């Protein structure tokens, strides 16, 4: 049986709860792709992924499906994970403001655009698990999970906190981050960390569902 080991771990009742969860992932690159893979292998298959990009050769160091250079990410990932739903969409402010997230139990934010992440947090903080910066690092032991207000050592997190303070937003939401000092100025990346961010997010999703 495909999910036998998961059932043995979680028990039948909790495994059914996981199977019934409905998740949306914004961005399926180095972080979002591994979150998707982890959730799907765990039995959570009612997943919607949102992206608009195609695979580039520079993605091959960290992204699932990136052997399909030039192909739309959604098409390849739908081939690999056939039960998922896809939305081909550039995640901009207008889309975040108009999209209805009501049907989803949890939202995984693995998007790249800071303004989009901030707007999403304001609208959907109760359901949100957000990835902060995973590039420029190689030590997975530094990865942490915390409230956005307790995150530290991450430039993206600092910018998001500052902007939320300006907007007088003080609600909590969960972030996955690493305070590891940046090892390069460019957008160098290592799948050990980007993938571990995705797996950590997957674990947080599982814990959140089973706590309900």
- Judge whether 19 and 39 are in contact, CB under 8 Å: no
Give the burial string for 78-108 (b: 16+ CB within 10 Å, else e). beebeebebeeeebeeeebeebeeeebbbbb
Alpha-carbon gap, residue 40 to 195, rounded angstroms: 15
**Mean pLDDT of successive 10-residue stretches along the chain, which has 212 residues:** 95 97 98 98 98 96 96 97 97 95 98 95 97 97 98 97 96 98 93 98 98 86
Show contacts of 97-104: CB within 8 Å, 24+ apart: 97/123, 101/24, 101/127, 103/22, 104/22, 104/23, 104/24, 104/48
pLDDT value for 166: 96
Q: What is the pLDDT of residue 187?
A: 86
For 199, the token pair is 């797996």
Give me the pLDDT at residue 163, please: 97
CA distances from 46 to 24, 66, 178 (A): 9, 23, 29
**Domain spanning 4-129+189-211, CATH class:** alpha beta
Q: Where are the beta strands (DSSP E) in the chain?
A: 23-26, 47-51, 85-88, 106-109, 128-131, 144-147, 174-177
Using the 8-state DSSP alphabet, how is residue 67 labeled?
T
Q: What confidence score (pLDDT) does residue 37 get?
A: 98
Q: How would you class 165 by CB atoms within 10 Å of its CB: exposed for 0-12, middle for 13-18, buried for 19 or more?
A: exposed
Where exactly are the structural domains of the chain?
Answer: 4-129+189-211
Q: What local confidence, expressed as pLDDT, does residue 1 receive?
A: 87
**Residue 68 has what pLDDT?**
96
């Amino acid at each position: 049986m495909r999910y036998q080991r998961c059932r043995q771990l979680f028990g039948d009742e909790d495994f059914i709860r996981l199977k019934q969860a409905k998740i949306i992932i914004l961005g399926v690159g180095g972080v979002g792709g591994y979150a998707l893979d982890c959730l799907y292998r765990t039995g959570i298959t009612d997943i919607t992924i949102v992206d608009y990009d195609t695979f580039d050769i520079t993605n091959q160091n960290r992204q699932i499906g990136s052997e399909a250079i030039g192909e739309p990410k959604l098409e390849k990932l739908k081939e690999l994970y056939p039960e998922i739903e896809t939305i081909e969409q550039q995640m901009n402010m207008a889309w975040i403001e108009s999209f209805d997230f009501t049907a989803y139990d949890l939202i995984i934010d693995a998007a790249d655009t800071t303004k989009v992440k901030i707007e999403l947090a304001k609208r959907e903080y109760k359901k949100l698990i957000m990835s902060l910066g995973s590039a420029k690092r190689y030590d997975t032991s530094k990865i942490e999970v915390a409230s956005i207000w307790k995150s530290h050592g991450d430039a993206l997190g600092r910018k998001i906190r500052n902007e939320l303070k300006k907007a007088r937003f003080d609600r909590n939401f969960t972030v996955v981050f690493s305070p590891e000092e940046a090892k390069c100025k460019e957008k160098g990346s290592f799948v050990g960390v980007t993938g571990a961010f995705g797996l950590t997010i997957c674990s947080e999703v599982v814990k959140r569902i089973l706590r309900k």
